Amino acid sequence: MSSFLFTLSLLLHGVTFVIIFYLFQRIQQFKYSDDEQRVKDIEDLFNSYLLEIKDENKKFVESLSNLNSIKPEKQDEHISPNDDIYNSNIDMINPDMTSDQLDTPSTESQVLYMYKQGHTIDHIAKELDLGHTEVELIIKFNEKIHQ
């Protein structure tokens, strides 16, 4: 009788192990299919973001090309604040700015103007109350942009 019970116990243990192994495989399948679905969802999300960024870049490039086409043909000629081209470009750049803010040139443009006039970096820095290194960086960045 004990040998029968021992055999029955081994048989039940074997069946239990087979069922546990089968359940373990099923759990792993669900886990991997769930992970694959998550990966696919993330890839779709990234693709949609990428498409949005590409569209925004296209719009940005178009707006830049429109601004470049509006530029005056003579680059060396200074545009006075009374010119129509000057006023239309300013309105396109930032309509919230007041006319007083628009009439004062930026520090960068002052540095570049003085540098093109032949002033030394030290003189520009003293005149505009800027650091020597700051003036050098403005000039170097401008040269890199226009190369």
Pair (113, 85) in one structural domain:
no
Residue 16 token pair: 């239990």
Pair (111, 48) in one structural domain:
no
Domains in the chain, number = 2
Pair (117, 62) in one structural domain:
no
Where is 126: in which H helix or E strand? Answer: helix 121-128
Pair (61, 43) in one structural domain:
yes
CA end-to-end span of the chain: 98
Pair (86, 121) in one structural domain:
no
Structural domain containing residue 120: 105-147
Q: What is the Cα gyration radius of the chain? A: 36
Last residue of a domain, one of 70, 85, 103: 103
Pair (53, 26) in one structural domain:
yes
Query: What Cα–Cα distance (Å) separates residue 16 from each residue in 5, 11, 13, 110?
Result: 16, 9, 5, 85
Pair (76, 8) in one structural domain:
yes
Which of 129, 126, 125 has the alpha carbon at shortest distance from 139?
125
Q: What is the pLDDT along the chain (147 residues), one digit of tens a residue?
A: 889 999 999 999 999 999 999 999 888 887 776 677 777 888 888 888 888 888 888 888 888 888 877 755 555 455 555 555 445 544 455 555 565 555 678 888 899 999 999 999 999 999 998 888 888 888 888 887 776
User: For residue 71, what is the DSSP state?
Assistant: S
Pair (98, 118) in one structural domain:
no
Pair (69, 139) in one structural domain:
no
